[in-house]
Amino acid sequence: MRRTTTDGRALPPRVGSRRALLQAGAALGALAAAGALGACATAPDPTTAPDEASHPLLGLTDFDGRALATLPPLGAGRLVLVDFWASWCAPCRQGFRHLDQLYRTWLSRGLQMVAVSVDDDPTAARRFAAAARPRFPLAWDPDAAVRERFGVVNLPTTMLFDGDGSLIARHVGFDLGDHRALEEHVRRLLGS
């Protein structure tokens, strides 16, 4: 069944579908290898007044489908980590514990974070979150718009943005070495 918006535009395939992830991953992998995939998201220009409609995370909701009251301010002088995950993703489960420790360690120094579930079923995401009990904020991408805006194909995808809103690290999958590199970026940017 083809999914559409209320005005009839076609929606992208849901990332919650493992088949859609595999198909899109093969195509995007070729682009990334060729260097055609530059920055995955455009943060607002910090020299201009923030425009809520242009916030790259606009469209995220809680697991009940309510719009989030606040979004991490990309490009507002804050270090922001955005992690895309799904309840069925084994590497996502593995990475959550490490991301939670990173968040708890650096929250008082200014690290902001949001972990975005791309599950089709928010109930599955809610169950996973209840079991993992992370302290960082969670959100749901109900129509895959944010996932598409950030060019997320494989999970988990973790991105770190500096205070100017520039993408400084992007890790796909979970690897302890990559996580340590992410920790080092945070340590360098927030001070030791």
For residues 70 and 113, is the Cβ–Cβ distance under 8 A?
Answer: no
Average pLDDT, the chain: 80
Share of the chain above pLDDT 90, in %: 66
pLDDT tens digits, one per residue of 147-158: 999 999 999 999
Using the predicted structure, report yes or no on whether residue 168 has a pLDDT greater than 70: yes
Superfamily designation of domain 48-190: Glutaredoxin (3.40.30.10)
Residue recorded with tokens 């697991």: 63
pLDDT at 125: 96
Share of the chain above pLDDT 70, in %: 72
pLDDT at 191: 84
Using the predicted structure, report yes or no on whether residue 133 has a pLDDT greater than 60: yes
Q: What is the DSSP letter of 1?
A: -
Proportion of the chain in helix, strand, coil states, percent, rounded to 5: 35, 15, 50
The structural domains of the chain, with segments of one domain joined by +, span: 48-190
The pTM for the full model equals: 0.74
pLDDT tens digits, one per residue of 24-83: 443 333 333 323 233 333 333 433 333 445 789 999 999 999 999 888 988 889 999 999
pLDDT at 8: 54
pLDDT at 73: 86
Burial of 39 (0-12, 13-18, 19+ CB in 10 A): middle
pLDDT at 36: 28
